[in-house]
Amino acid sequence: MSRKTLLVLSGAGVSAESGIRTFRESNGLWENHDVMEVASPEGWKRNRALVLDFYNQRRKQARDCQPNAAHLALARLEQHLQVKIITQNVDDLHERAGSSSVLHLHGELRKAQSTLDPKLVYDLDHWEIKEGDKCEKGSQLRPFIVWFGEAVPMMYPAMEWMERADFVLIIGTSLQVYPAASLIDYAPAHAKKYLIDPNPPGSYLRSVEVIPEPATVGIRRFEEMILREIES
């Protein structure tokens, strides 16, 4: 019998427990920068050096952080389920924890992209992209990040993953950012849904089992629940 599929929607709350800060903690400021200065095409046009330095620092910070208990538990669940993770996070902590099927909606810190041809994407084995670093077509490299106002090309494969889910776990995200927030609408009617959130919304989706804990704590309860579910 084929394994059932657990579809995980993960967000900044998972990475935060590894020490990676998010701009939403600071009222729209991200490491003391207005997010539109460092996460928009307009910001890139205005001050390319600032944007490159900002993501270089984020890359360096992420390199020094380690996967936490939530990342490790999701990787461990691959022993029992087909686990697919759709993450809004741009770090590689899910992969470093051992998860084998991770889709990054908003890009990846450890990659660079051509400013001329968005299909040209390069793995980075270092933490800096410098001015003058160019793609094979001669254009400046930029962070491989989906900025505000840009399309989210990975939405379509993410929808397809969601449509095949038997279980859905929402962890570390309040699903307030669109289009990512709309993914839950593509879950099959039969899929059981779970939310791990220390401050769950007062009104949420119907038929969602809520675990009102931080990611690293709530994941332990979720592991027990999901293993009982697939064994019953």
Token look-up 């629940």 returns 225
Residues 6+ apart with CB under 8 A from 48: 131, 140
CA distance 154 to 107: 9
User: CA angle, corner 90, sides to 88 and 93, nearest 5?
Assistant: 100
141 phi and psi angles, rounded to 5 deg: -80, 145
Listing DSSP states for 151-201 in one string gives --TTHHHHHHHHHT-SEEEEES----STTGGGGGGGS-TT-EEEEE-SS--
Query: Do the beta carbons of residue 44 and residue 147 sit within 8 Å?
Result: yes
Token pair for 15: 């990475």
Token pair for 177: 């950012």
Token pair for 113: 């992209």
CA distance 141 to 18: 28
Q: Is 106 a catalytic residue?
A: yes
- Give bridge partners of residue 140 from the DSSP assignment: 134
Token look-up 């099959």 returns 188
Spot the catalytic one: 71, 94, 104, 106: 106
Q: Which residues are catalytic?
A: 106
